[in-house]
């Protein structure tokens, strides 16, 4: 299995999160899988400019050439993409939202009806499963967690992916790996 | 009243959000000539410190932005986080206008609960939320097709200037349809049968000499 982890913390990635991901990488590799970790804080990625080049000028390709291209390519070759985010101000981070916005080239501008609602047609034949890890303080607002969880599930639906799980404040990297193997 | 408009469209001055606010502010000025507003473009990240200073002096705040992947564009969330961290002393009420290309308002339902809670996180009150679908393409539509929309935004501005809040009745009217009803679905089926359902996008693809590339899969 190819697992991609996208670390998107705002305003920056705490050192312990990087350590957590390094441990996770070791577990995944030792179990015979492959993994790539993208730490958005260390990448040069501009927000989506809404230019729609990816839909009407260079279909499938983002008009802004930045490090998001590395993720766009890897995304399609993954079996599972794991969004690792904090919830600043009670919702997924701006950093994570930025990369979600930048995934739009993977879908058509064309609309079809899915379960009675409009949706964008897929550009590719297959997409990875999605999952999330949320990090929140212990006194986190339950409704914030619910809103972000509902949102990520909707993203998966629009992105023609299966949503596997949301892990909240996992204590160990092993815990996340078990979630993956059990989901 | 000093209104701070936080325009979260990445397309900034050339955006549909700006066009809608022009009609809104025209209405507000018409109803209350002393109505005072300032527009801040959140696509200008380097101006955020200046926007925070403006926020401190605002009597009301109105956010407007397009729906991006069922939520706010990342630049909007970025400024929300900065406001939340800055803990401003000023506590102006916040209103939101979310516009989207999708026809049905229900597409914004995953964002709506967050927007109703966000002002409270800053210790502020909420003074309205408008979800408006079917906005994409309004800049190229003939005048008759946008007349009603712009008149409604003008009215919304007039009432806002008088009452300091988005009018609930008008917001309820503007957000329709909540879901795709049988009439809309029938129109969509007819358009698909006539091969006109992708008309808007195909025209732009052809204009850019990219129609033949429309099914490209460049990342395989």
Q: What ipTM does the predicted assembly reach?
A: 0.96
Residues of B in contact with A56 (CB under 8 A): 201, 204-205, 207-208, 210
Q: In the β-sheet with A2-8, what is the strand arrangement from edge to edge?
A: A34-39, A2-8, A80-86, A129-135, A163-168
Q: Report how far residue A178's alpha carbon sits from residue A137's, in angstroms, rounded to the nearest whole number.
A: 23
Asked if A59 is an interface residue toward chain B (Cβ–Cβ < 8 A), one would say yes
Domain identity same for B170 and B186: no
Domain identity same for B74 and B19: yes
Fold assignment, A2-182: Rossmann fold (3.40.50)
What CATH number should be reported for the domain holding residue B70? 3.40.50.360
Domain identity same for B166 and B88: yes
Question: Residue B174 has what pLDDT?
Answer: 96
Cβ of A47 within 8 Å of Cβ of B113? The answer is no
The two structure tokens encoding residue B24: 């809104």
Domain identity same for B117 and B149: yes
Interface A:B, Cβ pairs < 8 A: 147
Question: Residue B1 has what pLDDT?
Answer: 65
Q: Is the pTM of this model over 0.90?
A: yes
Contact B100, B108 (CB under 8 A): yes
Mean pLDDT by 10 residues, chain B (220 residues): 94 96 98 96 96 97 98 98 96 98 93 97 97 90 92 98 96 95 89 84 96 96
Number of domains in chain B: 2
- Those of residues 118-157 in B touching chain A at CB distance below 8 A are 118, 121
Closest CA relative to residue A151, chosen from B178, B129, B70: B70
Question: Residue B140 has what pLDDT?
Answer: 86
- Those of residues 141-180 in A touching chain B at CB distance below 8 A are 143-144, 147, 150-151, 154-155, 158
Instruction: Tell me the residue range of the domain where B21 lies.
Output: 2-179
Counting as low any pLDDT under 70, the low residues of chain A are 139
Domain identity same for B138 and B219: no
Residues of B in contact with A100 (CB under 8 A): 69, 74
Closest CA relative to residue B180, chosen from B107, B85, B124: B107
A117 DSSP assignment: E
- Those of residues 197-216 in B touching chain A at CB distance below 8 A are 197-198, 201, 204-205, 207-208, 210, 213-216
- Which of A93, A97, A116 to mutate to test binding with chain B, by most B CBs within 10 Å of its CB? A97
Domain identity same for B22 and B129: yes
Q: Report how far residue B12's alpha carbon sits from residue A9's, in angstroms, rounded to the nearest whole number.
A: 26
Domain identity same for B215 and B125: no
Residues of B in contact with A155 (CB under 8 A): 69-70
Domain identity same for B76 and B139: yes
Domain identity same for B122 and B205: no
Contact B25, B56 (CB under 8 A): no
Domain identity same for B143 and B196: no
What are the angstrom distances between the C-alpha of A70 and each of A52, A133, B63, B110? 19, 21, 33, 28
Domain identity same for B111 and B185: no
Domain identity same for B170 and B190: no
């Amino acid at each position: 299995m190819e697992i991609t982890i996208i670390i998107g913390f705002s305003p920056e990635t705490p050192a312990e999160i990087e350590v957590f991901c390094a441990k996770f990488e070791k577990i995944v590799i030792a179990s015979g899988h492959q993994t790539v970790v993208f730490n958005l804080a260390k990448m040069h990625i501009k927000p989506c400019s809404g230019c729609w080049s990816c839909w009407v000028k260079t279909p499938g390709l983002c008009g802004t050439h930045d490090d998001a291209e590395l993720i766009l390519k890897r995304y399609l070759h993954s079996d599972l993409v794991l969004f690792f985010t904090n919830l600043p101000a009670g919702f997924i981070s701006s950093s994570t939202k930025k990369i979600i916005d930048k995934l739009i080239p993977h879908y058509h501008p064309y609309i079809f009806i899915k379960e009675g609602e409009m949706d964008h047609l897929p550009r590719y034949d297959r997409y990875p499963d999605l999952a999330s890890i949320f990090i929140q303080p212990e006194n986190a607002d339950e409704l914030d967690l619910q809103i972000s969880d509902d949102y990520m599930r909707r993203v998966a639906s629009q992105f023609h992916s299966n949503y596997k799980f949301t892990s909240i404040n996992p204590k160990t990297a092993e815990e996340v790996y078990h979630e993956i193997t059990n989901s | 009243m000093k209104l701070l408009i936080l325009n979260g469209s990445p397309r900034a001055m050339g955006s549909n959000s700006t066009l809608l606010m022009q009609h809104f502010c025209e209405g507000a000025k018409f109803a209350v000539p002393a109505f005072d507003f300032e527009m801040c473009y959140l696509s200008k990240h380097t101006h955020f410190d200046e926007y925070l200073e403006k926020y401190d002096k605002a009597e009301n705040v109105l956010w407007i932005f397009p729906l991006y992947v069922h939520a706010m564009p990342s630049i909007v969330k970025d400024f929300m986080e900065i406001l939340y961290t800055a803990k401003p002393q000023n506590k102006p009420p916040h209103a939101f206008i979310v516009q989207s290309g999708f026809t049905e308002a229900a597409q914004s339902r995953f964002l709506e609960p967050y927007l109703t809670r966000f002002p409270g996180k800053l210790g502020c009150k909420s003074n309205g939320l408008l979800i408006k679908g079917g906005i994409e393409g309004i800049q190229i539509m003939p005048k008759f097709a946008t007349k009603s929309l712009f008149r409604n935004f003008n009215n919304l501005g007039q009432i806002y200037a008088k009452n300091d809040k988005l009018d609930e009745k008008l917001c309820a009217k503007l957000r329709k349809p909540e879901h795709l009803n049988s009439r809309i679905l029938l129109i969509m089926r007819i358009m698909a049968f006539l091969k006109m359902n992708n008309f808007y996008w195909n025209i732009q693809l052809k204009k850019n000499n990219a129609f033949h590339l429309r099914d490209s899969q460049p990342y395989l």
